[in-house]
């Protein structure tokens, strides 16, 4: 399937859910599984039909926008930052969840401290090497489980799962975590990302079933 058809199909799916009067479920969540989700043991791959090949020698991560100290990291410099490992659950809006994902990388808060966002910065806009983008409120990025992950289960994040580096925000649906991340920009005003302009919810909290806007 071509990239355009895939995107159109996924967008139509979101519109259909809305047209059918999709309502957040009041019950059916367990302590661990958000409402309307099913547990999977595999690890499905979701992308725009492109898995960019980024040689580590050419990889950079730019952190900019409303910050005192914008930074461009090379792979080497990025990996010299303090590393953390966190176990978290992964919830995709297409209704599968995966438990106990072990991610290793740099905590978002580490980058936050290094670039020193200005007080006006309230939103974060992520862009990726495949043209993807997504937006998240800054306060949602400051939990200690939000990572720029370079390892999954102790191994480098595979290309299909967003390597060299991807964002993990466990408390939001997984579309809020940019694979193949290239740029993290701090903004005063919100700017909608790829799926957010196509009908996905702006916040994307799985416990509130914030699937579609
Ligand atoms: N760059 C990029 N990041 C992305 C996507 C994408 O298409 N491109 N898809 C999102 C969606 S919809 C989901 S569910 C997760 C899927 O991650 P996975 O392929 O590792 O399961 O990545 C998110 N991040
Ligand atoms: Mo997704």
By alpha-carbon position, which residue is closest to atom 16 of ligand 1?
46
Residues with CB under 6 A from ligand 1: 43-48, 92, 128, 130, 132, 161-162, 174-175, 177-180
Could you tell me which of 171, 178, 170, 184 has the C-alpha nearest to residue 196?
178
How many folded domains does the chain comprise?
1
Sheet containing strand 133-137, edge to edge, reads 71-74, 60-65, 181-187, 123-128, 133-137
Does position 114 have pLDDT exceeding 60, yes or no?
A: yes
pLDDT reported for residue 2: 67
Does position 170 have pLDDT exceeding 60, yes or no?
A: yes
Average pLDDT over residues 138-150: 98
Does residue 213 belong to any structural domain of this protein?
Answer: no
Q: What is 10-24 written as a DSSP string?
A: HHHHHHHHHHTT---
Average pLDDT over residues 157-177: 98
Does position 26 have pLDDT exceeding 50, yes or no?
A: no
Q: What is 10-64 written as a DSSP string?
A: HHHHHHHHHHTT----SS---SSSPTT-EE-SS-----SS------TTT-EEEEE
Average pLDDT over residues 85-110: 98
Does residue 15 belong to any structural domain of this protein?
Answer: no
Does position 111 have pLDDT exceeding 90, yes or no?
A: yes
* Percent of residues, the chain, with pLDDT higher than 90: 85
Q: How confident is the model at residue 167 (pLDDT cuts 50, 70, 90)?
A: very high
Residue 115 belongs to domain with CATH number: 3.90.420.10
pLDDT reported for residue 25: 52
Whether pTM > 0.85 for this model: the answer is: yes
By alpha-carbon position, which residue is closest to atom 21 of ligand 1?
45
pLDDT reported for residue 194: 98
Does residue 2 belong to any structural domain of this protein?
Answer: no
Distances in whole angstroms, Cα of residue 117 to Cα of each of 114, 137, 169, 210: 9, 13, 19, 28
The domain containing residue 125 runs over which residues?
A: 23-44+52-208
How far apart are alpha carbons 76 and 29 in whole angstroms? 42
Does position 10 have pLDDT exceeding 80, yes or no?
A: no
Nearest bound ligand to CA 94? Answer: 2
pLDDT reported for residue 43: 97
Does residue 6 belong to any structural domain of this protein?
Answer: no
Mutate to test the pocket of ligand 1, among 125, 151, 177, 206 (most ligand atoms within 8 A of CB): 177
Which 8-state DSSP code applies to residue 5?
H
Does position 15 have pLDDT exceeding 80, yes or no?
A: no
By alpha-carbon position, which residue is closest to atom 20 of ligand 1?
161
Distance from the CA of 82 to the center of ligand 2, in angstroms? 29
Average pLDDT over residues 130-141: 98
């Amino acid at each position: 399937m071509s990239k355009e058809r895939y995107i159109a199909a996924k967008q139509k799916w979101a519109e259909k859910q809305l047209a059918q009067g999709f309502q957040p479920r009041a019950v059916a969540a367990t302590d661990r599984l958000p409402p309307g989700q099913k547990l999977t043991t595999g690890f499905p791959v979701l992308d725009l039909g492109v898995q960019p090949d980024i040689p580590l020698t050419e990889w950079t991560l730019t952190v900019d926008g409303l910050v005192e100290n914008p930074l461009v990291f090379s792979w080497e410099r990025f990996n010299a930052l303090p590393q953390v490992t966190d176990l978290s659950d992964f919830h995709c809006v297409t209704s599968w969840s995966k438990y106990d994902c072990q991610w290793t990388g740099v905590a978002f808060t580490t980058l936050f401290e290094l670039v020193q966002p200005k007080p006006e910065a309230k939103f974060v806009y992520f862009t990726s090497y495949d043209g993807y983008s997504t937006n998240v409120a800054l306060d949602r990025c400051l939990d200690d489980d939000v990572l720029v992950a370079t390892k999954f289960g102790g191994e480098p994040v595979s290309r299909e799962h967003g390597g060299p580096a991807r964002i993990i925000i466990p408390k939001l649906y997984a579309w809020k975590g940019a694979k193949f991340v290239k740029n993290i920009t701090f903004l005063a005003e919100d700017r909608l990302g790829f799926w957010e302009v196509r009908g996905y919810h702006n916040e994307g909290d799985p416990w509130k079933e914030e699937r579609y806007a």
